[in-house]
A and B are shown apart, each in its own frame.
Chain A
Amino acid sequence: MDWTLFWVIGTFATYIGIAVWARAGSTNDFYVAGHGVHPVVNGMATAADWMSAASFLSMAGLIAGMGYGGSVYLMGWTGGYVLLALLLAPFLREFGKFTVPDFVGDRYYSDVARLVAVVCALFVSFTYIAGQMSGVGIAFSRFLGVDFNTGIFAGMAIVFVYAVLGGMKGVTYTQVAQYVVLIFAYTVPAIFISLMLTGNPVPQLGFLSNIKGEDVSMLQKLNQTVTDLGFTGYLSSPKTTLDIFCITAALMFGTAGLPHVIIRFFTVPHASDARLSAGWALVFIALLYTVAPAVGAFARHNIIETVNETTYVPSAEYQTASAAVTEAGGTPSPAWFANWETTGLVAFDDRNGDGQMQIRGPAAPDGLENEVTISNDIYVLANPEIAQLPDWVIGLVVAGGLAAALSTAAGLLMVISSAISHDLCRRTFFKGMTDKTELRVARIAAAGAVIAAGFMGIYSQQMAFVAQVVAFAFGLAAASLFPVILLGIFWKRMNREGAIASMLTGLIPTFAYIWHFKIGAGKEATADEWFLGVSPEGIGFVFMIVALVVGVAVSLVTKPPPQDIQDLVEDIRVPGTRRSHGIADAGMAPVD
């Protein structure tokens, strides 16, 4: 535990040092880091911004449990970057303003459109940030022995310093440091595990290799093992092809529509840097995302091999008790299991009273019940111990999880504070505000947002929607924000009426559907009751298509947009030609 403390304090001190160095002097600095971030640096910051506590801690475990079904996360959370690079990022950068509602409000010459976009951005970001803050609380309470709420306060304090002082500038450079911490913490244990299990040090290749010393591939053997224990095979999924298709699509389009990801591309100098930056972001993300399925598969294999059918040894007096089991000719349960039992992330319930640990699936051929429960987070957290790596690596993984949670929280905070100070105050309600006042309001808004996010983290257990981040954040971003941004760039004829109609037809039904099946009356419903058999996670894609159709149809039956707007669209399509256009830029001139 001393090593954990060392890493946590060491990394936190680094983040504060960076914050002091990168203070923001103007709104341009505060919202978009003065447009001066190098594309590779921005790519790295985007990767940290993007990879949350869930990507870092839970995703490998999710894939381990779901096998092929986990592919939706892998493709969904990376494929969106292709859409960002090709369809959105360079054009939005060329547009030259600070936020996503800026684009929606100015392109559609309407404060109503701006406000609807603000509502979408705020809801998506608050849902997402509550999960990050509770992740910080869990990491602190489980690994440093402090109270959950105290952990959240510590997280709030650190984000407060660099987000309020430095704005986007401070956030960018701390995210770079956080990326380095998290990728190191993720890949080092993975390399050792891969080496142990397959003899290949590259996890992506180990994933394709045979088990060391055996003539069977790791994946085929794992597939056989889990099938024999009564689980769904590792290479298949109980979900329908249509549902897998829709979930993957909702995650991809949702990724491309998430405001905290989009605004990262406003920080680079030119449109060409924005697309290059999306490429680098995906390189840095892929480093973790191509390792994750290997970590998941290795860990599931290791856990079954080392735990199933062993004699349970509790953590008290582990050394002597396990020696006694070995002496009696049995196999004791591994030490890491006993260690992690105290955190509540793994548990053993001896249903048949034989003292042996049975891991079984729902269709176990020998009819035995499952006795071992394993949290998704354990796959990453316990990896260093399973691989018998030194203590300092274990502490590093905790610091990595905190880095992942804090970097994402900071990116979301920038969206929330700019939505309030810039979109609501400066652009809608107090149009004559000076830059200096706006910067002050932005700092106050960021401070308020930190506090609000902290309390949402503390009360996350009571707020059911927080647990449904995947469905809500991605579904809503895909269905409400993606269509209007896409059409705003690629279809000049798209007008105000079409945009408002499109956002509302995306937002309301998606929200209602997810609420109904995840939280409301339909919570216990089976797949038969889903609309077209599409789960709440995938419904955002269905309503995105509806929103696109509605946006086009409504635009066609109403007046075309003013000439100024059509000229603006021409300009943002061609890098370096952006000029100011009457109606579109009346409220705020584009920033070069």
Chain B
Amino acid sequence: MAEESETPNRKGYWPEVIRLTLILLTIWFLVSFGAGILFREFLDQFSLGGAPLGFWFAQNGSIYIFVALIFYYCAAMNRLEKKYRIEG
């Protein structure tokens, strides 16, 4: 019986994990490879304090966002695991 109530939970869980992962990796890509490298010249026309914005993303900004992304992921995963009654 335990198996039966567990199976549908596991099925719904994984697609949600994948969705969350893809969204966060898109942001990861945009702030580093995007803002820091590919769109850097465009962003450099703006500035943050005394630093051109693209340059700042490449040397500082992307790192702050990386940290935020991981903690957001942890919180979101804990919510998901609660929803599907998974105990990690």
Contact = CB atoms under 8 A, between A and B. Distances in A.
Contact of B60 (A85, A204, A270, A575): A204
Contacts of B55: 68, 71, 219, 235
A532 interface: no
Contacts of B88: 90, 94, 270-272, 575-576
Contacts of B44: 235
Given A85-B73, A210-B50, A78 B66 contact: yes
B69 to A, nearest CB: 6
Contacts of B64: 286, 290
Contacts of B87: 575-576
Interface string B21-54: 1001100100011001110000010001111100
Interface in B58-85: 58-60, 62-64, 66-67, 69-71, 73-74, 77-78, 81
A68 B58 contact: yes
Given A86-B21, A86-B24, A290-B63, A71 B81 contact: no
Interface string A527-553: 000000000000000000000000000
Instruction: Categorize the interface residue count of chain A.
Output: 35 or more
Contacts of A293: 59-60
A83 B58 CA distance: 18
Q: How large is the interface on B (under 10, 10 to 19, 20 to 34, 35 or more residues)?
A: 35 or more
A439 interface: no
A391 interface: no
Interface of B: 6, 10, 13-14, 17, 21, 24-25, 28, 32-33, 36-38, 44, 48-52, 55-56, 58-60, 62-64, 66-67, 69-71, 73-74, 77-78, 81, 86-88
Given A74-B63, A293-B59, 11 more contacts: A82-B69, A208-B48, A208-B50, A217-B51, A220-B50, A235-B44, A235-B55, A248-B33, A275-B73, A575-B87, A576-B87
25 contacts: A68-B58, A71-B36, A71-B55, A71-B58, A78-B62, A78-B63, A79-B32, A79-B66, A82-B70, A90-B88, A217-B49, A217-B51, A218-B50, A219-B52, A235-B52, A235-B55, A245-B38, A270-B88, A271-B88, A275-B70, A275-B73, A276-B74, A279-B70, A574-B10, A574-B13
